[in-house]
Amino acid sequence: MESGPSKISEAIAGWLIPPACREEVLGDMRERRQRSGPYLLEAAQLIPCVIYSRICRTTDAVVALAEAVSMYTAFVMAAWWLDRAALLDERGFVRLAIPPAIFLAATILADAYSNPKRRWRLKPLFGPMLGFALAYAVQPVLEQWALPASVLAWGSGISLLLVSTLRLAFPPIADQPRAANAPAFWQKLEFAPLPFWLKGALFPTAIMLVVILYLLKK
């Protein structure tokens, strides 16, 4: 008789659960000693709730809104400068919203699945870079909804620079306890000179942006 889920079932569930709460969730599910079928069924019901809870803990709504507005503005301006036909098309504004939505979804999920035990200074840039790659990867699938290459290149490049700057200035809030009526993380920040490591991080980000735009333009 099978006394619990198989290792493959636990591995699948563990891979889908964010690292910050993986051990606790897997431990609770393991205590029930369900077989693989019921175990995976429970995981399918529980994991989306865990991911949503993690997103609520790692994403500041105000910062996310600022990122979304800045990215969409970047794509609209790129279309206005480079290809106004794409902007004036009946689907133009919706097409321009697709890459920012992919960028934002990638950064939010990257924060949710970020391991709080692994800290490095350029970690906030991982999400935007992932969104940049995904936005380009889905373009062949979009077909008539895809953007012109020049608009996508410049819109993505400017968005990457803007979002990276915002995320370095307002890093993701991971595992930060807050009272019910306490101010958000961004509201507690004060204007101060940029630290040395942040200045050093912005320079390679700008260089990376120039290189990406140059390669895309060729």
Is 2 part of a structural domain of the chain?
A: no
Same-domain check for residues 47 and 112: no
Closest to 70 (Cα-Cα) out of 109, 98, 100, 107: 100
d(CA 98, CA 145): 9
Q: Which domain holds residue 35?
A: 7-55
Is 34 part of a structural domain of the chain?
A: yes
Same-domain check for residues 120 and 82: yes
d(CA 138, CA 121): 29
Angle between the 149-169 and 196-217 helix axes, to the nearest 10 degrees?
170
Same-domain check for residues 49 and 66: no
Closest to 83 (Cα-Cα) out of 159, 155, 162: 155
Same-domain check for residues 134 and 70: yes
Is 109 part of a structural domain of the chain?
A: yes
Q: Which of 38, 55, 72 is the last residue of a domain?
A: 55
Report CA Rg, the chain.
21
Same-domain check for residues 185 and 81: yes
Is pTM beyond 0.75? Reply is no
- pLDDT tens, N- to C-terminus, the chain (218 residues): 456 677 888 888 888 988 888 888 888 887 776 677 777 888 888 889 999 988 888 888 888 888 899 999 989 888 888 887 777 777 778 888 888 999 899 889 988 888 777 776 667 778 888 888 888 888 888 878 888 888 888 888 888 888 888 887 777 665 444 444 445 544 454 444 545 445 455 555 565 555 555 555 55
